[in-house]
Amino acid sequence: MELFENFDFSRKDKKKPLADRMRPKTLNEFIGQDHLLGEGKLLRVLIERREVPSMIFWGPSGVGKTTLGWLIGKYLELPFFSVSAVNIGIKEVKDIIQKAKTRKIVLFVDEFHRFNKLQQDTFLPYVERGDIILIGATTENPSFEIITPLLSRMRVINLEPLSKEQLIKIIKRAISEDDEIKKIPARIDEDTIEELAFLADGDARKALNILEVCFTMVKNTKKTTPVIDHKILEEAYQKKIALYDKKGEMHYDLISALHKSMRGSDPDAALYWLARMIEGGEDPLYIARRMVRFASEDVGNADPNALIISLAAKDAFEFIGPPEGYLALAQACVYLSLCEKSNAIYRAFGAATRDVKNLPDYPVPLHIRNAPTKLMEEMGYGKGYLYPHDFDDAIVNQEYFPEQLKGRRYYFPTERGFEKKLKEFMERVSHIKRKDRQDR
């Protein structure tokens, strides 16, 4: 394939993977993202009006980011170029843009967050002039991974994992419409389709890849009409599959049970749900990520070691792998269950975030700004700043908030665990500052 080839996913090629062969050719065929593509919804309206701006597609794998980019190019009747930041550099990107400079193009960049800040800067003039419609796809939070100048010029479009029902539709469509699948005289029962949709965990590509393996496995069987059942699916998936769907025990139910058991300080119940998830084939790193989240959300500064132990468990699992690595997760699970709890950090950050979203962007007070140049110094940057280490206990009465937020409080530590010491320190700081104001 030429680097600068104008992609056309509508071309039929039986050598392509099933997931590629089943890409929808129109918006009406697209399954999922109803919050964006339903009648009157943002992305559909932009496409129908042919007013599509440069965008960041933020969402998990296998939810249709690349396909949506291609469909946008198709509906706008513009050339579509798809590249990945994993295996292409900025020079090649510039070459693509230059070769297509006679007309506007849709440039889709997968894994956009892999480009560093300087590389991302390269796109600014092309996006600003409207030379290209840039669509950057990322699984990472754009707020942290994409430079602010680009974010201000691009719409962030949040794509959601596909539901089990949507995945079932995609699987059934592939079985009934794909020419290569239809050549194989096999059938798959409804329960197995539901199991497959559950295992795919919101990822259509994963579902179709496993489905293709299932049909390949029974392709040359001597049975007249082989049946793809739980055992075939388990072999294709290469993991023991707990039948969650048949018992109504979904992925999110189990992680919720684990989280609430740890929050409720019940290590035995937490270990049970942890074992259920592991034996059911859950990704252990997903569990580890939830434990890290729990350490900040439900434990916080009541026991700062909780975050350290959670991250250590994740690192230990990655280092030694299964099954021995499961013990590290179990150790963290018990520790999180039995340590002191506090959601003060969770509430404090939520309150601060609400102010940031709902209030103006107040300027940084001059006295706590840096003054790296003489002009800034003459303008008052840093003037009057009091260096805490020049004062007793490294505490000085000084305002750090913007004037409009003076006196605001977000963090209210509890009397539990280490937070009790933090609360005592905050009270001591408050007392010293209050006394200093009175002395003045």
Query: What are the start and end residues of each CATH 1.10.8.60 domain in the chain?
Result: 164-247
* pLDDT for the residue numbered 33: 95
Alpha-carbon distance 404 to 427, whole Å? 23
Tokens linked to 258:
């684990």
Burial 1-13 (b: 16+ CB within 10 A, else e): eeeeeebebeeee
CA angle (162, 166, 170) in 5-degree steps: 110
CATH architecture of 164-247: Orthogonal Bundle (1.10)
The model's pLDDT over 93-139, given as tens digits with 9 standing for 90+, comes to 888 888 767 788 999 999 999 898 888 998 999 999 888 999 999 98
Q: Where are the alpha helices (DSSP H) in 83-147?
A: 90-99, 117-121, 124-129, 142-145
Alpha-carbon distance 21 to 212, whole Å? 11
Bigger pLDDT: 115 vs 435: 115
Tokens linked to 197:
């949709």
Q: Which CATH class is domain 18-158?
A: alpha beta
Lowest-confidence pick of 56-60, 99-103, 210-214, 276-280: 99-103
Q: Which CATH class is domain 251-338?
A: mainly alpha
Label residue 236 by pLDDT band (50, 70, 90): confident
Alpha-carbon distance 427 to 413, whole Å? 11
Tokens linked to 382:
């840093």
Helix (H, G, I), strand (E, B) or coil at 362: coil
Is 270:334 a contact under the CB 8 Å cutoff?
Answer: yes
* pLDDT for the residue numbered 200: 87
Is 59:136 a contact under the CB 8 Å cutoff?
Answer: no
Alpha-carbon distance 222 to 231, whole Å? 17
Query: What are the start and end residues of each CATH 3.40.50.300 domain in the chain?
Result: 18-158
Task: Enter the pTM of the model.
Answer: 0.56
Query: Among residues 120, 127, 149, which one has the least CA distance to residue 54?
Result: 127
Over 80: is that where the pLDDT of 15 sits? no
> Average pLDDT for residues 296-307, to the nearest whole number?
96
CA angle (247, 249, 254) in 5-degree steps: 155
Other CB atoms within 10 Å distance of the CB of residue 210: 19
Is 307:284 a contact under the CB 8 Å cutoff?
Answer: no
Helix (H, G, I), strand (E, B) or coil at 107: strand
Over 60: is that where the pLDDT of 239 sits? no
Alpha-carbon distance 209 to 402, whole Å? 54
CA 146 to chain centre: 14
CA angle (219, 225, 226) in 5-degree steps: 60
Query: What are the start and end residues of each CATH 1.20.272.10 domain in the chain?
Result: 251-338
The model's pLDDT over 363-401, given as tens digits with 9 standing for 90+, comes to 999 999 998 888 888 888 999 999 999 988 898 898 999
* pLDDT for the residue numbered 109: 93
Fold of the 362-439 domain: post-AAA+ oligomerization domain-like (1.10.3710)
Helix (H, G, I), strand (E, B) or coil at 144: helix
Alpha-carbon distance 267 to 337, whole Å? 5
Query: What are the start and end residues of each CATH 1.10.3710.10 domain in the chain?
Result: 362-439
Is 388:396 a contact under the CB 8 Å cutoff?
Answer: yes
Alpha-carbon distance 184 to 201, whole Å? 26
